[in-house]
Amino acid sequence: MTQQTSPAPQALLPGFTLGAYRIDVPLVLAPMAGITDLPFRRVCKRFGIGLTVTEMIASRAVEQGRERTERMAELDPGERPVSIQIAGAEPHFVVDAARWAVGHGADFVDINMGCPVKKVCKQVAGSAMLRDESLVARVLTAVVGAVDVPVTLKIRTGWDEKSKNVERIARIAEDCGIAMLTVHGRTRAQMFHGHANWEDIGRAKAAVSIPVIGNGDIVDGDSAREMIRVSGCDGVMVGRAVQGNPWVLGEVRAAIMGEAPPAPPTAAERWDVVYEHMRHLLSHHGERTASKLARKHIPWYSKGLHGSAEFRAAFQHYHAWDEQMAAAEAYFLGLDGGPELARVA
């Protein structure tokens, strides 16, 4: 009798090299202000992702030297390689911020030219910079020349539908020495509406030979596979879908690596992650801020689960850390002995 062996998994993407690092799993956790702090990045890292990025840090904030800014740049040796993301429009401030990021242990410095927020765009930073290609080149050249780690760039596809310039910006980035480009397939005018245009990501990919990471609307393994097929991107970045559901990273990772999707978490596994997140929130931020952040993050974990609406409503009323912990444990483990909590279809 011949023995059946399962074929070796066939990765959809081969990974790439970035400076001193080999990124074998080209799956990146999206930088998200107010979300991807060190506690959440630690939680996400356990799902085997290749790269994490801090929340955006404004170069002006670096100059002001606030304690909060320092905390945003705290990294965990276990999350390496990790990128610190900076933003700004004045080359000398961005250069100072990049040097500061490297001084804080960043393996890569990521420059944000994708942020659509009015306050940021008003200072001609974030996605507003895409309207001024010579400024883009000046900032990128200055930063690449100032630090000895790879500098990467994150962009949208342009300011609005009429002025899309994703291919030109991609070429400028490559010419300036940018080591990796992430493209969120929306224009600034779209904010977060409509759909990300994965073909536009493909246009950037075709224009350059540096690794291009596709971003926008990845919610599971299937969407990741489809983005890779449509755009030909070298890696995938996941953002909003991770909020309250870091397990999605395991699913996307499996899709990219050609492996079988992991089983959905049991109630005990779900609580294990929620507990770890809460523990990291407390140790990183202290009780007051941790409590506030828990009120945002922890109810997300209940989305689609039985009793979610009641849990969310009740959780907002707990202000003491011990109460929050007890309420979360009771809900996520299940008061009746912890049968697996089925997701509501």
Using CB under 6 A as the criterion, what x/- string covers residues 109-148 for binding ligand FMN? ---x-xx---------------------------------
Report how far residue 96's alpha carbon sits from residue 20's, in angstroms, rounded to the nearest whole number: 23
CB of 281 to ligand FMN, least distance (A): 17
Q: How many CB atoms lie within 10 A of CB 124?
A: 14
Is 217 one of the binding residues for ligand FMN (CB under 6 A)? yes
State how far the alpha carbon of 274 is from the alpha carbons of 39, 244, 247, in Å: 11, 9, 12
**Strand 108-113 with 151-156, pairing:** parallel
Query: With respect to ligand FMN, which residue has the nearer C-beta, 304 or 339?
Result: 304
Among 55, 200, 234, 251, binds ligand FMN (CB under 6 A): 55
Answer yes or no: 176 catalytic: no
If the CB atoms of residues 84 and 254 are measured against ligand FMN, the closer one turns out to be: 84
Beta partners for residue 183, in sequence order:
155, 214
Catalytic residue among 44, 115, 121, 233: 115
Q: Pick from 41, 42, 184, 203: which binds ligand FMN (CB under 6 A)?
A: 184
The answer to the question of residue 239 lying near ligand FMN (CB under 6 A) is: yes
CA gap 14, 165 in Å, rounded: 28
24, 70, 318 from 244: Cα distances, Å: 25, 25, 19
Min dist CB 301 to ligand FMN, Å, is 16
Choice between 121 and 238, CB closer to ligand FMN: 238
Nearer to ligand FMN, 71 or 240 (CB): 240
Q: Which of residues 60-99 bind ligand FMN (CB under 6 A)?
A: 85
Q: Of 32, 189, 207, 314, which one interacts with ligand FMN (CB under 6 A)?
A: 32
C-alpha to C-alpha distances, 260 to 49, 50, 141, 254, 257, nearest whole angstrom: 16, 18, 43, 6, 9
Q: Which of 41, 42, 45, 154 binds ligand FMN (CB under 6 A)?
A: 154
Backbone torsions φ then ψ of 94, nearest 5 degrees = -70, -40
- Which of 18, 25, 27, 35 touches ligand FMN (CB under 6 A)? 35
Q: Are 224 and 259 in contact (CB under 8 A)?
A: no
Q: Does 26 bind ligand FMN (CB under 6 A)?
A: no
Nearest residue to 57 (alpha-carbon basis) of 118, 125, 141, 156:
125
Q: How many residues bind ligand FMN, per CB under 6 A?
A: 22
- Encoded one letter per residue, x for contact with ligand FMN by CB under 6 A and - for no contact, window 163-182 reads --------------------
Distance CA 293, CA 278 (A): 9
CA–CA dist 190, 90 (Å, integer): 25
Smallest separation (angstroms) from ligand FMN to the CB of 41: 13
281 burial type by CB count under 10 A (0-12 exposed, 13-18 middle, 19+ buried): buried
Catalytic residues, by residue number, are: 115
| Residues engaged in binding ligand FMN (CB under 6 A) | 30-35, 55-56, 85, 112, 114-115, 154, 184, 215-218, 238-241
